[in-house]
Amino acid sequence: MKVTIIDYGLSNLLSVQHAFAHFGAETLLTSKPEDVLAADALVLPGVGAFQDGMAGLEKLGLVEPIRQKATAGTPLLGICLGMQMLFDESEEFGLHKGLGLIPGRVVKIPDTDADDCPQRVPHISWNPLYPGSSRADFGGTVLAAVQPGEECYFIHSYEAKPTDEMDCLAFTVYGGRRICAAATHGSVLGCQFHPEKSGEVGLKIIEEFMKSADR
């Protein structure tokens, strides 16, 4: 299976590529629409601002190919900014449209915690993952190998709010509030954390994503 990693100018490409190569995956770094359309599995990494990410995708003609592949059921993993761009829209620096693959909106993390005390934004830390919605565990999902409470690495100032609570696969807690840590809708998976920087836990998630894409 070839894993196609989308390069649109705002991506942590090499660390993502190395993480997939750890499991022997053939990887392709590309910014070409035709490569996206031919992909077996897609990864949309990203760091930076939402509007710049979407502008990069649009400039390269990648928006519609990504949507087309997701609609056709091709496995798609969005990481950090890549996860946020899977949603309908973001409030970062104004209101900007996303890919619309997971219903919901991206909003700023509050600068006060649940007790109304100041908290640091961006959120930069290792935080535990807990099953979202009404799930008792992560069984049957791409996080199946993760035990609730295992930690991953987060760095972000905005958080995704899925419209449907069932789309929240995992959450973490920051400042006494829940933050959606992973979201899924159809063949689309978004991780707000960086699996490629999350040690053994992150590698387990990448391995499960590859297995799901190979089925």
Distance CA 78, CA 43 (A): 6
The two structure tokens encoding residue 168 = 């929240």
Among the listed residues 80, 152, 180, 191, the single catalytic one is: 80
Indicate if 80 belongs to the active site: yes
Phi, psi of 129 (to 5 degrees): -100, 135
Among the listed residues 159, 196, 207, 208, the single catalytic one is: 196
Among the listed residues 156, 191, 194, 207, the single catalytic one is: 194
Q: Which CA distances in Å does 26 have to 3, 10, 136, 152, 210?
A: 6, 22, 34, 25, 11
Indicate if 196 belongs to the active site: yes
Cβ(80)–Cβ(47) below 8 Å: yes
The two structure tokens encoding residue 143 = 């996080």
Indicate if 168 belongs to the active site: no
Catalytic residues: 80, 194, 196
